[in-house]
Amino acid sequence: MITSKEIEILGEEIIKIISGIYDPEIPVNIYELGLIYDVKISDQGDVKIEMTLTSPNCPVAESLPAEVEEKVKAIEKINDVEVNIVFDPAWTKEMMSEEARLELGML
**Structure pTM?**
0.92
Q: Report the CATH number at residue 24.
A: 3.30.300.130
Q: Is 26 part of any domain?
A: yes
Q: Is 107 part of any domain?
A: no
Q: Is 104 part of any domain?
A: no
User: What confidence tier does 54 reach under pLDDT thresholds 50, 70, 90?
Assistant: confident
Going by C-beta distance under 8 Å and a sequence separation of 6 or more, which residues neighbour residue 34?
91, 95, 96, 97, 100
CA 10 to the chain's CA centroid: 14
Q: φ, ψ for residue 41 (rounded to 5)? A: -125, 125
Q: Is 90 part of any domain?
A: yes
Range of 81's domain? 4-99
Q: Is 69 part of any domain?
A: yes
Segment 60-104, tens digit of pLDDT: 888 999 999 999 999 999 999 999 999 999 999 999 999 999 988
* 75: helix, strand or coil: coil
Which amino acid, 8?
E
For position 74, what pLDDT does the model report?
97
For position 27, what pLDDT does the model report?
86
Select from 63, 79, 70 the least CA-distant residue to 10.
79
Per the structure, how many domains does the chain have? 1
